[in-house]
Amino acid sequence: MRLKTWPLTCLVVLLSACGSSATTTIDMSDMSSMSGMTMSSSSVTHQHTSDAIAHFSVDSPNYLPKELFDITILVQNKWNRPIEKFEVMHEKLMHLIVVSKDLSYFEHLHPTYAGAGRFDVQTSFPAGGYYQLIADFTPTGLGESVQSHWLAINGKAPKAVKLQPDKSLTKQVGDKEVTLAFDHLMAGMTLDMVFTFKQGAAKTPVTNLQPYLGSIGHVVAISEDGNDFVHVHPADPTATSGPTAAFKVVFPSKGIYKIWGEFQQNNEVFIVPYVINVNL
């Protein structure tokens, strides 16, 4: 899924799904000063594909960190009529990814479908600054659609953390050691991406992973500039327990990406983040 940006005076998002694409413009002038701006209690934008329009409505008392935000996403067709039927994807009708502009913050939500094309969810944000809401859904018969909305939270934003590719793709999560490997790292090509799980001081292979969202795991990758969104499915849908989890992935362009692998063990979901550099 390719999300494109233009110069800093405006953000133009290209929404691409199953061959359809279109653009919408969101005013993002003077982004550097937005962390201290005030906002009204409601923010609504909409974005177009050739067959669907996602209207994002975000409401909170003061748009401050820690406050509870009501997020509504209304999906309509090009005649402004609600799209009422959606396909289940990874056990959900909609996945909503929330990331900070520097990708240091990540949240994966599942809005509740209220009918008539309306999805609702509540969340809060940890600090001031910019956040991108990325909705991934599939209207019945129209193919998968990825649409996004930028949101500014009042208050002081933390210092941006510049992404640096990891020197090692082995991470420690609790008592688990998780290693990420690729057969190669080239943009525009189908790659094999494999996670390997070991546990404890003896580094025993993990064989008791549990299905998460209907499969062995869920993987999201976003480019450093926030323009490219990658959501991948397991290569073998029948594999659910480990000690490896294999995926097929295509990175649409070269550059730095942050990857979040989400897995489940002992009824607890754990997230493993990586930063990689994809070559041309």
Query: Which two tokens mark 87?
Result: 């396909």
Cα(238)–Cα(246) distance, rounded to whole angstroms?
11
pLDDT in tens, 214-273: 899 999 999 999 999 999 888 888 888 999 999 999 999 999 999 999 999 999 999 999
Place of tokens 């941006």: 160
CB-based contacts of 198, cutoff 8 Å, min separation 6? 176, 177, 178, 179, 204, 205, 206, 243
Strand partners, 32: none
36 secondary structure, DSSP code: G
Return the ∠ at Cα 5 (arms to 69 and 101), rounded to 5°: 40
Q: What is the pTM of this model?
A: 0.82
Residue 115 CB neighbours (<10 A): 8
pLDDT in tens, 4-25: 332 322 232 333 333 333 322 2
pLDDT in tens, 135-153: 999 999 998 999 999 999 9
